[in-house]
Structure formats: structure tokens, C-alpha cells
Amino acid sequence: MEYPPLDQIRESVMGDVITMDDLTNEEIIKLLDNARKMLPVAKGDIHLPLLQGKVLANMFFENSTRTRMSFETAMKRLGGEVLNFTSAGSSVSKGETLFDTMQMIDGYADVAVIRHPRQGAAQYSADAVSIPILNAGDGAGNHPTQTLLDLFTIREAHAEFKDLNVVLVGDLRYGRTAHSLSNALARFGVNLTLVAPESLKMPNEIVSDLKSLGGIVTETDQLYEQIKDSDVIYMTRIQKERFPDEDEYSKVSEIYTLTESDLIGSKENMIIMHPLPRVNEIHPSVDSTKHAMYFEQAFNGIPTRMALLCKSLGIDISREVL
Amino acid sequence: MSDAEMRRVTAICNGTVIDHIPGGQALQVLRMLRLESGISNPISLVMNVPSDKLGRKDVLKIEDRELVQEELDRLAIIASEASVAIIRNYGVAEKRQVGLSDELVNIIKCSFSNCITQNQREPLPQRLRVVSRSPVEIRCSYCGKIQDMAEIHERII
């Protein structure tokens, strides 16, 4: 086919967040500070309609529970409106291109959140429209808004990032959450241990990026010997839907599981995180321990996404909220 | 090129001489420039001659055809050190620089099977960015995947 000229690509918009590279360390810290200010608003204790009159398009071409709902709650608690799009039953099932779908949204909303099964779909959307695009997961690519809430959770628990021992566990090959989070953690001077079976190791280009960012990275397939020295254990689900065949999936599906007894001898303030949904990675016996942070982590999606929506729409929270 | 090297193939009257192609890469260069089939211009090819700069180099002479900048951009992907001379009436009329741009637009197609650009009906151009020049490393601007340079000639648009 003939490809069109470059001038069809829109200028990049300031508020786009496609990968963590779109935010400087200073911007990340400011977002986390602002997210903390948003906590009472996120809980519904204070009414603060900073985004009144604004419309968010939630463009979910792939399933989501927490990400879609926390963006929706964040927008609504700040007085904004939300359009929810799912590809089933839309023109996408009739063969509409992503480009055409996004043209429509460009006219309907002020900011769009997109999740798509194909890698690169968020950057492609950002090139197609003039409103800010927030990447909520593109295939096995990136998931930067999850990273922001993960960073918020770690910072609230440990105050500083530098020199923390963070262990990322599970599907590091297809896990977009792990891809984005490792990038940010490397930039903040964290000691990263990547725990995965051979078939699910972190892609080479990402490990090489982490090292060039100055990250201290250790790769292993052994989880249990890491627990004692960890400050954060970040479990991820082995994603059945990303495996080309079921046999390969069943070989590794239950390779890492944490139970309460595994945590004996761990640091007092060690936290266990998980982007959820979990399957067998964390036994329910862990839920009642002081280490379990994953449900609080899921809540933290609301204040961090509030801070991000405000940033993308040009609202300076530090001026609005003292 | 020295006189001895020049004598390996006949001097051309009009056209383009591409010198300092890394040894053994000339056939790939022909593919990159889409000169391997469907054209009638005479082409002379010298492979693996000794070179101070490269150890071994290839040389291509393409008669009655002056390469344009867009073609030189393609050439740079696999032969960024190559030198290009435009020949008119047996003399060097012009020397053109091979330069690898920071971004390759509609030159290479991303190889990753799950990249958004694999949908042929999506209308935006193919964009790949050059992240390293020596050795050349190219990544898709959308999905971020590093492209396999050994197969890059198969991804030419």
C-alpha cells in the first residue's frame, strides 16, 4: 500500500503520557506530591470540582476493571464527565481503524485514556489526535499510569526510593506493568531484582535500557531467597492470554506463589504489591498480614490518576490545593 | 578508489558510484535501493576488495541513474560509511553524503507481529527511530521493538 506523508502526524501534546519517558523525575515527584493532596478528595471527604465541564474518554479495546473504574472515579470526584468506550458492539467490530475511532474521540472529549491489545497503540493514537492521550496499557508494552500509582504506594510506605531493594516477580516478558515500573525505579536509584523463569524473562531491550539508566539490576529465577532482604516484593500474574499455547502456560503458571509462612524473617516494613487481578501468586493467608499492600495500592489509582488528569488538562493542583 | 581498483570494472559515463560499502553487503544494498530486479540500468558490482578503512569493501556502479536523497537515507541503514559519487560524462560531478536520519519515515516497516502498524489499513506512516549509529540500532517509534538488522532489507517499504 502507499503510505501517506508525514504531515498527517499531529504534533505531540504536552499532556500525553505514553511511556515513563514522557515524565521527568521532577514531574513524577510533583505528581506524587499532588496525589497525596488528592487523598481526601479521592475518598470523597472533600468535594473539589477542579475538572468541572471537562470530558474524559475511556477507550478500552481490552478488558479492564481497576484502571477503567479508577479513572472514572477520579474524573467524577473532580466534577468531570466520562465517556466509556468498549470495542465490543462498536464500529471497531465492523473493522474501523484505530485512526478513525480516535478522530471521533478527538472531537468528543478533552482527554482520552486508551488500553489496546496491540503494542504501540497509545503512541499511534497520540499521533492521530490533538487531545492528550494517557496510555492505560498497550499489548505487552507499557502501563505508565499503573507505575505512577505503584510509585505512590512505595513512597507512602518507605518515604524514599533510593537504595530500596525491590523484587519484581513473575511475567516480566509480557507484563507491561513490570516494564514501566522497572524503568521508573531504575531512574530513582532502586536496587532491582528481576525474578522470572527463563521463558518469561524481561526483554533484552528493557534490561539494556535499565542498565543505561544507571539501574543496579540482578536477574534470577529464585524468589524465596530474595524475601529476607526485600523492601518491596512486586508480584505479577502469569498472563494466560499472552501465551501462544496452553502447554507453555501450564509449565510456568504456578511457579511463584507467596504464602504467609514464606514471609517469616522478612523485614518489618516490607510491602507486598500486585497490580491485580491475582490468580495463585499470593495466597489469601497473606491478606491479613501487615505486609499486604495490594488493595491499598488499587485504591491509590484514584488519587494518582486525579493528579495525572489535572496535569494533562493544565490544572495546577499545587495552586488549587494548599 | 585507486586506479587499480577502478580497473576492476569499466568506468561509467553517467550514473552513480557507491564506494565503501562494508564487504559482502552489496547485494543487500541493491535490495535496499530496490535495484535488484525490474530495472534495465547496467550495474557493475565489485565485492570484497581490500580497503584501508573497512578491511574489505564492496563497490557498486549504477549507470544512467543518479541516486536521490531518499535513496541515500535507505543506503545509510546498512552502509552508513559509504561514499556516493554522481558521475557525468566520465567525471565526478558531485559527491553526496550518506546520512542516517534520526527518524526513518515510511522507509522500513516494523517487524513486530503485534505492533499497531501491522494493520495494513491503519493510515499513519511507519516511523522508526535510530537509537544508535555504530552499530546501527533501530527501534519502532510506536511499539519500541528493536529491529533485526540482518533481516532489515526484507522490511523495506
- Within an 8 Å CB–CB cutoff, is residue A116 touching chain B? yes
pLDDT at A216: 92
Contacts of B120 in chain A (CB under 8 A): 1
- Note the pLDDT tens digit of each residue in A296-321: 999 999 999 999 999 999 999 988 77
Q: Which residues pair with A272 in a beta bridge?
A: A233, A292
pLDDT given at position B8: 61
Residue of A nearest to B109 (CA): A3
- Residue at which a domain ends, from B50, B82, B97: B97
- Taking the Cβ of residue A61 and every Cβ of chain B, the question of whether any pair is shorter than 8 Å is answered with no
Mean pLDDT of A12-35: 92
Contact A9 B121 (CB under 8 A): no
pLDDT at residue A148, as a whole number: 98
Give SS3 for A234: strand
A272 φ, ψ (degrees, to nearest 5): -110, 125
Burial of A157 from C-beta contacts in 10 A (0-12 / 13-18 / 19+): middle
Q: How do the residues of chain B divide into helix, strand and coil, expressed in percent and rounded to 5?
A: 20, 35, 45
Which CATH number characterizes residue B32's domain? 3.30.70.140
B74, B138: one domain:
no
Buried b (16+ CB within 10 A) or exposed e, B33-70: bebeeeeeeebbbbeebebeebeebbbbbbbebbbeee
**Which residue among A8, A119, A205 sits closest to B116, beta carbon to beta carbon?**
A119
Q: What is the pLDDT of residue B70?
A: 80
B112, B122, B123 member nearest A119 (Cβ) = B112
Are B149 and B109 in the same domain? yes
Using a CB-CB distance cutoff of 8 angstroms, which residues of chain A are in contact with residue B157? 3
Residue A91 has pLDDT above 80, yes or no: no
Check whether residue B93 and residue B107 sit in a common domain: no
In the listed set B97, B121, B141, which residue is the last one of a domain according to the structure? B97
Measure B90 CA to nearest chain A CA, in Å.
Answer: 37
Alpha carbon distance B147, A142 (integer Å): 18
Q: Which tens digit of pLDDT belongs to each residue from A162-206?
A: 999 999 999 999 999 999 999 999 999 999 999 999 989 999 889
The DSSP H or E segment spanning A150 is helix A144-158
**Mean pLDDT, rounded, for A60-87:** 95
List, for residues A201-253, the tens digit of each pLDDT value: 999 889 989 999 988 999 999 999 999 999 999 999 988 877 778 888 888 88
CATH of the domain at B114: 2.30.30.20
Query: What count of Cα atoms within 13 Å lies in the side-chain half-sphere of residue A26?
Result: 0
Identify the residue among B104, B114, B120, B138 best suited for mutation to test binding to A, counting A beta carbons within 10 A and taking the highest. Answer: B114
Domain boundary among B97, B115, B139: B97
pLDDT average, residue stretch A83-109: 89
Pairing of strands A216-220, A191-195: parallel
Task: Please tell me which residue of chain A has the smallest CA distance to B104.
Answer: A6
Residues B78 and B143 in one domain: no
Question: What are the chain B neighbours of A116 within 8 Å (beta carbons)?
Answer: 116
Of A97, A117, A118, the CB nearest to B121: A97
Show the DSSP H helices in A10-97 as ranges: 25-37, 39-42, 66-77
Let me know whether B79 and B151 are in one domain: no
pLDDT at position A9 is 63
Do B25 and B10 belong together in one domain?
A: yes
User: In terms of Cα–Cα distance, which of A154, A22, A149, A124 is closest to A74?
Assistant: A149
User: Would you call A117 and B114 a contact, using CB atoms and an 8 Å cutoff?
Assistant: yes
Considering the domain architecture, whether residues B57 and B121 belong to the same structural domain is answered as no
Q: What is the DSSP letter of B146?
A: B
Predicted confidence at residue A6, as pLDDT, reads: 47
Q: What is the pLDDT of residue B4?
A: 57
Residue of B nearest to A179 (CA): B144
CB neighbours (10 Å) of residue A69?
15
**Measured between alpha carbons, how far is A56 from A51 in angstroms, rounded to an integer?**
10
Same domain, B79 and B15: yes
The 10 Å Cβ neighbour count of residue A160 is 11
pLDDT at B6 (0 to 100): 54
Considering the domain architecture, whether residues B91 and B112 belong to the same structural domain is answered as no
What would the DSSP string read from start to end of A161-193?
A: -TT-EEEEES-TTT-HHHHHHHHHHHHTT-EEE
B38 and B74 assigned to the same domain? yes
Terminal-to-terminal C-alpha distance of chain A: 55
Residues of chain B with pLDDT under 50: none
Q: What is the DSSP letter of A198?
A: G
A259-304 per-position pLDDT tens digit:
999 999 999 999 999 999 999 999 999 999 999 999 999 999 999 9
- Strands A191-195 and A271-273, bridge-based pairing: unpaired
**A205 interface with B at CB cutoff 8 Å:** yes
Interface test with A, best of B103, B107, B121, B124 (most A CBs within 10 A): B124
Q: What is the pLDDT of residue A188?
A: 95
Residue of B nearest to A139 (CA): B114
Asked if A35 and A303 touch (Cβ cutoff 8 Å), the reply is yes
d(CA A244, CA A304): 34
Domain of B38 in residue numbering reads as 3-97
Mutate to test the interface with B, among A103, A118, A210 (most CBs of B within 10 A): A118
Do B21 and B38 belong together in one domain?
yes
ipTM of the complex as predicted:
0.88
Say if A98 is an interface residue toward chain B (CB within 8 Å).
yes
Query: Is there a cis peptide before residue A277, judged by omega within 30 degrees of 0?
Result: yes
Q: Is residue B74 located within the same domain as residue B115?
A: no
Cβ contacts of B110 on chain A, cutoff 8 Å: 120
pLDDT of B1: 55
pLDDT at A60: 96
Q: What is the mean pLDDT of chain A?
A: 92
Tell me the nearest-neighbour CA distance from A91 into chain B, angstroms.
15
Q: How many domains does chain B have?
A: 2
pTM: 0.87
Pairing of strands A55-60, A111-116: parallel
Pairing, β A81-86 against β A165-169: unpaired
pLDDT of A2 over the 60 cut: no
- B18-59, pLDDT tens digit by residue? 999 999 999 989 888 888 777 788 999 999 999 888 899 999
Q: Does A2 touch chain B (CB under 8 A)?
A: no
Give the nearest partner residue to B105 out of A6, A138, A205, using CB atoms: A6
- Distance (Å, whole) CA A9 – CA A5: 9
φ, ψ of residue A30 in degrees (nearest 5): -65, -40
Residue type, B80: S
